[in-house]
């Protein structure tokens, strides 16, 4: 028995069934949201590095609590 089989909710299942459920028609929205997050991250890094102050960049990117 593999670890995946031991903790799977699908006793008979497909190895891929442990992944998140498929929501029809939502893939374009998920991709758009991911593209937006990547663009925001790129912009934040560009602004931080263009200022030349790496200390400010490191403080701005520090995690707070359980992020």
pTM comes to 0.44
Each residue of 7-60: pLDDT tens digit?
666 555 555 555 666 677 888 899 999 999 999 998 888 887 776 677 777 777
Exposed, middle or buried: residue 48 (CB in 10 Å: 0-12, 13-18, 19+)?
Answer: middle
Q: What is the dihedral of CA 21, 25, 27, 33, to 10 degrees?
A: -110
Contact 21, 33 (CB under 8 A): no
């Amino acid at each position: 028995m593999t670890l995946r089989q031991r903790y799977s909710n699908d006793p008979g299942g497909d190895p891929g069934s442990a992944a998140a459920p498929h929501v029809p028609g939502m893939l374009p929205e998920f991709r758009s949201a991911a593209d937006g997050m990547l663009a925001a991250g790129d912009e934040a890094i560009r602004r931080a590095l263009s200022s030349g102050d790496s200390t400010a960049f490191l403080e701005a990117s520090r995690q707070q609590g359980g992020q």
